[in-house]
Amino acid sequence: MCAIPFAFSACERAAPEVPAGLLTSRQAQEAGSAIFAANCAICHGVRGDGHGLRREGMTPPPANLTLLTWSDPTRASRVYQAIRNGISGTAMTSWPTLSDPEVWNVVSYIYSLRSV
């Protein structure tokens, strides 16, 4: 795995293409919200602001997913990869137990956080 989060290099596969209509799909956002609550909120917080119960002592702390850098549509594939593969040098682990559609639903939910 690469040491630089969100940077493409020879050690990563090409970014997957974002499914059409995903980022604005209310159905995907709702499904992603449930997955996020069950798996991600413990670190990233119930609002995705990085203030989860497990954040204490994490270096670096969990990402604030409400920031525009996380909701930039051009980065959706990279957000997918961060969930699927984890981010080296952080506490963000890979999520191999989630199916591809489930990961995309979480990406859709994260994109909905920018307007919260």
In tens, the pLDDT along 57-82 reads 899 999 999 997 777 778 899 999 99
Structural domain includes residue 93: yes
Q: Which residues contact 38 (CB under 8 A, 6 or more apart)?
A: none
Report pTM: 0.84
Give how many domains the chain has, as a whole number.
1
User: 36-40, 55-59, 95-99, 104-108: lowest mean pLDDT where?
Assistant: 55-59
Structural domain includes residue 4: no
What CATH number is given to the structural domain containing 95?
A: 1.10.760.10
Instruction: Compute the half-sphere exposure of residue 46: CA atoms within 13 Å on the CB side of its CA.
Output: 0
The range of the structural domain enclosing residue 50 comes to: 23-115
